[in-house]
Amino acid sequence: MFCSLKFFSESLGMQTEVYVLLPQRGTEGQIGVNGTVPDTEKFRCLYLLHGLSDDHTIWMRRTSIERYADAYGIAVVMPCAAKSFYTDMKNGDAYYTFVAKELPARIRSTFNISGKREDNFVAGLSMGGYGALKIGLRECESFEACAALSPVTDIVLWSASDVMRPVFGEKGNVPDDDDIYKLVEKRKDDPHRPRIFLACGKEDPIYRESLKMKERLEESGYGRYVYREGRGTHEWAFWDVYIQHALEFFFK
């Protein structure tokens, strides 16, 4: 079941739109569909985040996420976060608060979605990979695991770029709670630290960032992560394959 949910966000102070996929019972007669709907009161949920150049529609347009999610009987929520890097922007809107806090509460009040930590997950690509890591590490009481595909991880390095000026201001000062490396260090011994799935193509321009992230996880003794790499650059051909690996990591 596919829904387009339009509502007023208190965090953003404006109308916004979110795409939602929900498991549907009674699809036995539909051609080519072999979905599984769990016999539970409330559904597990994946929050799926877009990259810098895209919006909430992109996962539906560039991948078969509806078919992949159907196999696990999960809900998928795809918000729009503009070019915010999923941050409460210095000169812009409070997209971290919206995606990490307001949106899950809104989704649970609207749909039959579980609020249990073990039933909630977050994933994304590129800018959204950074967002998924940040949300998973900061909101570890709410999310069991996170997946980052071709993610931006060295946010301090990126903070000097023009696209970051609205996010962190002219001086590019990155708060500790927006620095993935510092969040890993903060959470490394936390019993509720999220499981992490990290993947990047070996021809990707930010491949070295993923290797650096892997090194930070290893050096910190974080423990609860899986790293995968393969042929590919910063492209949907890679992400369409590796979101399937991420789902397997989450739900099997």
Residue 160 confidence class, pLDDT cut points 50, 70, 90: confident
Give tens-digit pLDDT for 101-110. Answer: 999 999 999 9
In the chain, what are the domain boundaries? 2-251
Mean pLDDT of all residues in 161-185: 96
Please tell me the distance from the alpha carbon of residue 183 to that of residue 160, in angstroms, as a whole number.
Answer: 20
Name residue, tokens 């409330």: 42
3-state secondary structure of 9: strand
Q: May I ask the CATH class of domain 2-251?
A: alpha beta
Name residues whose C-beta falls within 8 Å of residue 67's C-beta, 6 or more positions apart in sequence.
none
Give tens-digit pLDDT for 110-138. Answer: 999 999 999 999 999 999 999 999 999 99
Residue type, 242: Y
Residue 62 confidence class, pLDDT cut points 50, 70, 90: very high
Share of the chain residues as helix, strand and coil, in percent rounded to the nearest 5: 40, 20, 40
Which letter does DSSP use for residue 174 in this model?
P
Answer yes or no: is pLDDT of 35 > 70: no
Single out the residue of 78, 114, 96 nearest to residue 5, CA to CA.
78
The percent of residues in the chain predicted with pLDDT above 70, rounded, is: 94
3-state secondary structure of 178: helix
3-state secondary structure of 198: strand
3-state secondary structure of 33: coil
